[in-house]
């Protein structure tokens, strides 16, 4: 119910704008599962790649989606974003993506996604990687217990759940 939105965790889903089909499918499944859990899905809002696919998955299961756009025009979000917010701050909005999420899940992506993982770790946000290639190396930048590597959306969801239980509440 709408009256309970504020008690729903926000799960940030990061990942590339230009990615392979498999990554799109992973993001789509992840979006579905996030909605099934009753969590809000937040991402960068653009009409491309992981941003579009994960939002589509969440909306197909009736979830709520939030997009933080780099542009000035909030109506440029992909059609699966419910709450589209415009920053006109380019990559500086990556910080907002991360701080506004209770847990960050990073799918495959490139330097933009890497910057989001780094900003999450810098700000002690729990991170789950799901197909992000350099994941093993990123361990050295984390505090114990705030970084997990998942190999399937199901596993990512389990890790998120664990974070929500252990770290946040």
Only one of the segments 19-27, 46-54, 59-67, 152-160 lies at the binding site for a copy of itself (rule: CB under 8 A); that segment is 59-67
CB of 162 vs a copy of itself, minimal distance in Å: 19
State which residue, 130 or 154, has the beta carbon closest to a copy of itself.
130
Cα distance between residue 62 and residue 35, in whole Å: 7
Cα distance between residue 159 and residue 163, in whole Å: 6
Using the rule CB under 8 A, is 96 a contact of a copy of itself?
yes
Using the rule CB under 8 A, is 74 a contact of a copy of itself?
yes
CA distances 16 to 29, 47, 52, 138, 145, Å, are 16, 11, 10, 17, 25
- Which secondary-structure segment (H or E) carries 156? helix 153-163
Cα distance between residue 61 and residue 74, in whole Å: 23
Q: Applying CB under 8 A, which residues contact a copy of itself?
A: 2-3, 5-6, 10, 40, 59, 62, 64, 66, 68, 72, 74, 79, 81-92, 94-96, 99-100, 102, 110-112, 114-115, 118-119, 121-123, 133-134, 137-138, 140-142
């Amino acid at each position: 119910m709408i009256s309970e939105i504020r008690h729903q965790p926000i799960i940030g889903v990061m990942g590339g704008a230009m990615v392979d089909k498999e990554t799109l499918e992973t993001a789509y499944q992840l979006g579905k599962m996030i909605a099934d859990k009753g969590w809000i899905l937040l991402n960068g809002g653009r009409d491309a790649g992981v941003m579009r696919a994960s939002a589509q998955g969440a909306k197909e299961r009736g979830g709520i989606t939030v997009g933080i756009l780099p542009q000035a025009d909030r109506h440029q979000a992909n059609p699966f974003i419910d709450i589209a917010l415009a920053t006109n701050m380019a990559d500086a909005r990556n910080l907002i993506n991360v701080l506004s999420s209770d847990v960050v899940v990073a799918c495959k992506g490139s330097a933009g996604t890497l910057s989001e993982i780094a900003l999450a770790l810098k700000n002690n946000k729990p991170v789950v990687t799901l197909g992000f290639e350099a994941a093993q190396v990123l361990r050295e930048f984390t505090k114990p217990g705030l970084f997990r590597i998942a190999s399937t959306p199901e596993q990512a969801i389990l890790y998120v759940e664990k974070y929500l239980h252990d770290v946040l509440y």
